[in-house]
Structure 1
């Protein structure tokens, strides 16, 4: 079993093959993966150092839902047992619900659409901390992994080349230490302290549109058991529910910045009345007894690493490098897929201190991950823009998306295959997104809509005399769809290094 170093002096620490900063999803799984690689020719197995600020069980409100593709990556890494024995709940798909304020005054009941995973695909949801501890335990099982509880302060650079050769860190007791390695991996999460240092001027900046405010509901009754539930509210962002234990259900409320001073009051007054009645009691109990947690919903496009503008000897992994909106629960799926690819490509490197070899790995990895990572990244933000629908044109697209799902068949199986990561295809995503856009326009012309005026609002199908106005509106709707989707495509393809930077 690997060592959990607690009191060793700086001189007692050997030079490692790989040093990983951050024992979260990406860091812990990579430590296990690299430690269990077959020895390279006549060389010994890789020596791994895994540094983490605190090895106590973390308490976070994200990183709790693992899509089917993420489970497949866990299996490839030999980590599928990490979702066992932690009170994990099965996830069989999604349920999208309309706000309870949706049209009751004209006799319309709120709509619900069922979006099951295809075939035997199944996800898992769990308490984040329990899953992290299971991953760390697997990393510790390897004899060639040393786990060090210490806060990394700075990167150590070679005086001659400027490449990163190690880190300076501080233990809990204040002891200073230096750890050296042929390759340093930074996996310290969304609030990375080293992102800008590694990427330099080439780095992108994370953007935050809103926050998820989280609580745990006890004995909540979801509209469809063992399904993630998304409630589309009127005037506010979407609300997510998914079970993370036998009795626990995670609630995530999307709240735009700037945040209200009293989050509980905001949710009670504006959000709770729009939720399915079966959730009201458990929501009231949670909001009156728990401290609400919040996390920024950030988007950070993946900038190519290993160029002349980025640091040598080090690479970024996980949320330290690439983030997407957590609405679709795709973060762990992307991270674990990245770990699988990095493990396989590093196994081909003969000398980890040879930056030319490592740089080739970073180039191949950057493009090999695109089908899955780009699909999930783009979907997460595009779907959020549709679901939060803060203007009239987005509202038309949201209505079209709901009705598109109601058609069933390929209109459900295709999008859910993309969402689950089982169909990693930006082109398939493009096809379905613009199918929704054109279907939304067709719905605009052919379906009944609320007509204001009179003593009581009523629904009516548009008449021919309304077509010119609707034609103009349809152009605006299609333009809005392009404004939502095309910049996201560009964010995924623009971050290559020009020839002069290689």
Structure 2
């Protein structure tokens, strides 16, 4: 005999737990009966999902879950500090106003979220491994439940529901079965992480981004009173000896206050890897997906973790989805659910797309390995050095306080054009032997023709970085014509450049 619920949620991580609590406590004439199935209810141990931007903190407050970041020894995050290792310079990027983020041990947050789920009315939190989706016998093969193996119980048990929600994370076991093989994440690199003990960062209560020559960025942020997470970007192919690679190529370029702590951590702690993946969102409830089931969180939409936007997007998604699903009188009526999903997909775009585009574009700049990208990276750092709106605007976008693709387009092309200006007007390093003291000189007039050619390549590179991301996030599913979508991207880029000029 199968257990029957109104909603089944597969996964009790960030998105699954928050959504279960949100739907259970949403105003509704008929209370929902919800089951959350999670493979293991032990405290998880992960190296990502440890930084919540101010926009995510605001979303938690909207959901009535602000207490989940309390009593877990969380650290305040007041903004960022960007370190240019090659230039030996540091720039502060504070959050606007009095806004604050939070950073913490991921597992402690999850346990607080699950405790909130247990207190929510009408919710069963069940330790079970979901193995299959159950479909009916109609021509549309609607999903009507799941099969799962309960911990300590032989055989499989069926759970039926009007709506099934998949929230099983970046390694989702059900993404392909719902959307097909064409929807899969692109892995751009890996973060290698460990814990630094009692380290002194260049600026307290700031996430530190170190720009490393010849490698991707290094991210550091305090997650408790004594613990600081360090995430080192490593591109393919992964070195066979990661510790030796870090000691030889990464550690010497980090701030001196960090180097000894990193060496100790490499001797005493294990290194763990996490893929840095990008997965644009796909419309749900359409003909390309199965009816009766939806995905949420990293199982459906991912961005590069460099900007720490994953949990912020997930919580913000739930803030938007909660009233839409709560207003559906009959969750077994897929047409009603689909209308809610269409509205959700549209309404989430400004925040989710802005955070997603910024995360990948910023990684492409900070992980620069091409000459044109190096120019953009240098220009980006000097753009931050200008202060004022050149800092306030980008950090408002990054922190999800200003969810505006138009504002992101403006600042991205401002950086691109300022990078070109920097090439002409700022002293550049003169090539020489590695053992020589670095020398810098301004561009000569006879170098201008080459710099004009290089400027065109830099601006083209900026368009190549930004354009596909904008198309994937904002226009990919906006209409039936691919030509219309491409023209939309070109027009958006042109508008961004025109606004800057």
Whether TM exceeds 0.5 here: the answer is yes
What is the 5 A alignment of 1:86-105?
A: 86-99=72-85, 102=86
Q: Which residue of 1 aligns with 2:18?
A: 29
**Distance in structure 2 (CA, Å) of the matches to 1:223 and 1:131:** 26
What is the 5 A alignment of 1:152-163?
A: 152-160=130-138, 161-163=140-142
Choose the corresponding residue for 2:423, options 428, 438, 444: 444
| CA-CA distance at 1:128 after TM superposition | 0.2
Q: Is the 8 A contact 1:326 1:380 kept in 2?
A: yes
**Distance in structure 1 (CA, Å) of the matches to 2:119 and 2:241:** 45
Aligned residues: 477
- How far does the alpha carbon of each residue in 1:132-167 deviate from its partner, in whole angstroms, 9 at most, with x for none? 000000000023000110000000001124100000
**Distance in structure 1 (CA, Å) of the matches to 2:53 and 2:268:** 31
What is the TM-score of this pair, normalised by structure 1? 0.93
| CA-CA distance at 1:464 after TM superposition | 1.2
Matched, 1:77 2:71: no
What is the TM-score of this pair, normalised by structure 2? 0.93
| CA-CA distance at 1:262 after TM superposition | 1.2
**Distance in structure 1 (CA, Å) of the matches to 2:267 and 2:465:** 37
- How far does the alpha carbon of each residue in 1:372-413 deviate from its partner, in whole angstroms, 9 at most, with x for none? 000000000000000011011100000000000000000000
**Distance in structure 2 (CA, Å) of the matches to 1:490 and 1:155:** 32
Choose the corresponding residue for 2:379, options 375, 400, 404: 400
Q: Is the 8 A contact 1:165 1:182 kept in 2?
A: yes
SS in 2 for 1:486: helix
| CA-CA distance at 1:308 after TM superposition | 1.4
Q: Which residue of 1 aligns with 2:498?
A: none
Change in 2 beyond 3 A, CA 1:49/1:457: closer
Q: Is the 8 A contact 2:175 2:183 kept in 1?
A: no
| CA-CA distance at 1:175 after TM superposition | 3.5
Choose the corresponding residue for 2:108, options 130, 146, 159: 130
What is the 5 A alignment of 1:458-473?
A: 458-473=439-454
Q: Which residue of 1 aligns with 2:233?
A: 254
Choose the corresponding residue for 2:305, options 323, 326, 341: 326
Choose the corresponding residue for 2:124, options 134, 140, 146: 146
Q: Is the 8 A contact 1:46 1:144 kept in 2?
A: yes
- How far does the alpha carbon of each residue in 1:55-111 deviate from its partner, in whole angstroms, 9 at most, with x for none? 000000000000000000100111000000000000000000011xx25xxxxxx00
**Distance in structure 1 (CA, Å) of the matches to 2:237 and 2:151:** 35
Q: Which residue of 2 aligns with 1:493?
A: 474
Most deviating of 447-456 and 311-320: 447-456
Q: Is the 8 A contact 1:169 1:177 kept in 2?
A: yes
What is the 5 A alignment of 1:42-441?
A: 43=30, 45-99=31-85, 102=86, 110-160=88-138, 161-173=140-152, 174-200=154-180, 203-441=182-420
Q: Which residue of 2 aligns with 1:8?
A: none
Choose the corresponding residue for 2:9, options 15, 20, 37: 20
Structure 1, unmatched stretches of 5+, are 1-10, 104-109
| CA-CA distance at 1:498 after TM superposition | 5.8
**Distance in structure 2 (CA, Å) of the matches to 1:200 and 1:215:** 35
- How far does the alpha carbon of each residue in 1:458-480 deviate from its partner, in whole angstroms, 9 at most, with x for none? 21111211111110010011011
Q: Is the 8 A contact 1:222 1:279 kept in 2?
A: yes
**Distance in structure 1 (CA, Å) of the matches to 2:109 and 2:281:** 25
**Distance in structure 2 (CA, Å) of the matches to 1:283 and 1:307:** 49
Choose the corresponding residue for 1:476, options 450, 453, 457: 457
Q: Is the 8 A contact 1:303 1:495 kept in 2?
A: no
> Displaced runs of 4+ in structure 1, greater than 4 A?
453-457, 497-500
**Distance in structure 1 (CA, Å) of the matches to 2:438 and 2:8:** 65
Change in 2 beyond 3 A, CA 1:411/1:266: same
